[in-house]
Amino acid sequence: MKKIAIVTASFAPISTPRANRATELAKEFAKQGCLVTVYNCTSVVDGTFNINENIRVVDLNIRKASIMKSSTKNNVTYTILDKGIILIRKLVYYFFLGSWLLYLLGLKKKLRFDDKYDLLISIGLPFTIHWGASLRIHGHNIARCYVADYGDPFSRGNDNLKCAKYFQWIEKKVIDKFDYITIPTYNAIDSYTWLKSSDCIKVIPQGFNFSEVKTLDYVPNKIPTFIYAGIFYSDIRNPKNLFDCLLKLDFDFCFIIYTVKGLQDSYSCIKPYIDKLGSKLVIYDSIPRLALIEKLSVADFLINMSNTSANQIPSKLIDYALSHRPIYSCTPNSIDLDKLISFCKGDYTGSENINLRDYDITTIVNSFFSLMQ
């Protein structure tokens, strides 16, 4: 029976992209008969996870989180002071990694591997998960194979989170302790070849258990209704041009956004258009992914906004495909208004096509198994 260790910033019931990554991997490894130990940094104070008998969660209590959601009203406001705080946080991150540093300090103090493993997977973001794990595997025979699983690049190739150049030296030293890097998209390979040779960089996308997904019967809405789910970034995923196009539409529609309203940078991208669009714009806090997919399945179509950088992919794109609704894809600087109008009229020519077989969790776990051979 193979033994798997997963080190992660967060785990179920938290439903962020990287928490989902750790959770889905743990569940499928256990389903295939492995003994899985999850070293989880974030304790949830108001939620539980139904533990499989083959999954042991070691709660490191480095941070605490709540899965309770805030108000879904459109009246959240941010002041000039808040914008100043955002700038200060970016500066603190640039030089010291901000709150990410807490994971490094916590892992250095609390992470202790109590077994020998066939495979150890460190789940980043944040990068400090890899850094903390590397301190414990260096010089110790903890596992046969060590994998640093990335969602996004860290010190190079990430236009959204820029950090000081000395972190490139640190990242190289950290990743030298791992046998492989795994990344979600082929487009990002060039962002990692300075860390590892190309044969040690493996593309293993996000995996999903499709049997858990439930959709509702779609009935065309009375007015065009479309949904965006995810976070906006003022630097690389700014919806300004999309909103400006929506203001040009001379018919009724309903644009629904599921996002994390507490993230100031993201919400500040939306706020200027709340009054301009009025009842045509509805904003909700993010919800668990299975519940989200049900909501997506009754929309007329979905909005996918890619980053300006090809090194990262929107984390909700696979959820979109699982909802079986057409996907209107765009980039922040390239909005096809005529195509958007056609989608609103029910002509979904040019809908984004996703091959879901590439994201089946069984295939994903088998890809990790192959790294141990």
- Amino acid found at 333: N
The token duo for 194 is 């300075």
Over residues 84-112, the pLDDT tens digits come to: 666 677 777 677 777 788 889 999 999 99
Mean pLDDT, residues 119-144 taken together: 91
Q: Hey, where are the domains in the chain?
A: 3-69+99-204, 210-358
The rounded distance, in Å, linking the Cα atoms of 179 and 196 is: 9
- Please, what CATH class does the domain formed by 210-358 belong to? alpha beta
The rounded distance, in Å, linking the Cα atoms of 170 and 128 is: 10
- The helix-helix angle for 127-137 and 100-110 (nearest 10°) equals 20
Residue 341, pLDDT score: 96
Topology alike, domains 3-69+99-204 and 210-358: yes
167 contacts: CB under 8 Å, gap ≥ 6? 97, 154, 155
* Architecture of the structural domain at 3-69+99-204: 3-Layer(aba) Sandwich (3.40)
**Cα–Cα separations (whole angstroms), residue 203 to 139, 177, 206, 367:** 27, 19, 10, 9
Q: Is the pTM of this model over 0.75?
A: yes
The token duo for 284 is 């909700």
The rounded distance, in Å, linking the Cα atoms of 186 and 260 is: 28
Over residues 188-210, the pLDDT tens digits come to: 898 899 999 999 999 998 888 88
